[in-house]
Amino acid sequence: MKFLNSKKIFKNNKAQTAIEFILLTTITVSFTLILVRQLKSSQYLSRQISGPWSSLATMMEHGTWAKTSQAKAMNPYMNNRGVTLFGDTE
């Protein structure tokens, strides 16, 4: 019983805290590296960005959510308008 009441058991708390910190840091870094490698190999982020980007780019260029081939015909700036400075010549 004298051994259980002794304070020698709890004397080295700083070292235990440091070791636990190192272990938790190692586990966190390892998990993060594995996660990043999996995301790079599956190209998850590139699919999440490039998928919606094509329709968003069409909206920015042509002002409609239609496909690019259809949107070009709908854009009023793509119509050939003949404008002269002198007016009609007929």
For tokens 């080295």, name the residue: 12
| pLDDT number for residue 33 | 96
| pLDDT number for residue 79 | 64
| pLDDT number for residue 88 | 63
Q: Check: pTM over 0.85? Answer yes or no.
A: no
| SS3 at position 4 | helix
| pLDDT number for residue 48 | 77
Low-confidence ranges of the chain (pLDDT < 70): 1-12, 75-84, 87-90
Burial 15-32, CB ≥16 within 10 A → b, else e: eeeeeeeeeeeeeeeeee
Reading the block at residue 21, the tokens are: 């910190």
High-pLDDT (> 90) share of the chain, %: 19
| pLDDT number for residue 56 | 81
d(CA 67, CA 53): 12
d(CA 61, CA 74): 11
| pLDDT number for residue 24 | 96
